[in-house]
Amino acid sequence: MKGKAKAGYVLARVFEVIGWLGVAMMVISFLVGIIDPEVISVMSDTDAAGAKVSVPMVPGSLGRLDITGPDGTLHQGLYLLYTAAGAAELALTALVFRRIWQIIKLSWASTPFQQPVVKKVKQIGWLFIAAPLVTVAVSLVGFVAFWPEYSFVVDVGGIITGVIVLALSQIFAYGVKLEDDVEGLL
């Protein structure tokens, strides 16, 4: 079991670092979009009027977003919205992986049924719920500010996952209680 736990620990650490690197890239892209939008326009130039540049939203809950206008030019507002949302969602994802490796590390010392593990599992549940809420907020802003180029999107998958993880945290809390009761008997 320890070998699998080490692999999970290493993978969680690697994915956390990748997430933070993604956040840094999104923040840099956002700043470049504000400071010199012409650089982004050149990078997205399609040389065809009416061509669209679609980018996938990270980690995917916002679907695809057209960041170019009807004439093929970059729509700076949509680009800035895309990079800000991408940074927020990547940060939430990195925080989930951080909690995962912390849980694995805590479980090495003794049992997974301990109060800090319960706290971290609850935090993961709330982070899973927060990501779709970021999506809803970004979609609402995009829909109001950039209609009709932008559509409203709601991803309930993350909310459902968050609720499941919160329920799982209650199982861990019960396990903590049982372990305390057993230790009291011995």
pTM of the full predicted structure? 0.78
Q: Count of CB atoms within 10 A of residue 104's CB?
A: 21
The residue among 71, 79, 70 whose CA lies nearest residue 38 is: 79
The residue among 24, 33, 22 whose CA lies nearest residue 57 is: 22
Query: Which segments of the chain does DSSP mark as H helices, in order?
Result: 2-35, 37-43, 76-109, 115-146, 156-185
| pLDDT tens figures, 98-145 | 999 999 888 887 777 888 889 999 999 999 999 888 878 877 887 787
Looking at per-residue pLDDT, the higher value among 183 and 76 belongs to: 76
Q: How confident is the model at residue 73 (pLDDT cuts 50, 70, 90)?
A: low
Q: Give the separation between CA 130 and CA 91, rounded to whole angstroms.
A: 11
| pLDDT tens figures, 5-55 | 788 889 999 999 999 999 999 999 899 888 887 776 655 554 544 445 455
The residue among 102, 85, 98 whose CA lies nearest residue 16 is: 98
| pLDDT for res 113 | 81
The residue among 91, 70, 77, 74 whose CA lies nearest residue 27 is: 91
For residues 72 and 49, is the Cβ–Cβ distance under 8 A?
yes
* Structural domains counted in the chain: 1
| pLDDT for res 76 | 79
> What is the chain's Cα-based Rg?
21
Domain that holds residue 100: 2-185
Strand, coil or helix: what is 97?
helix
Cα 88 versus chain centre, distance: 7
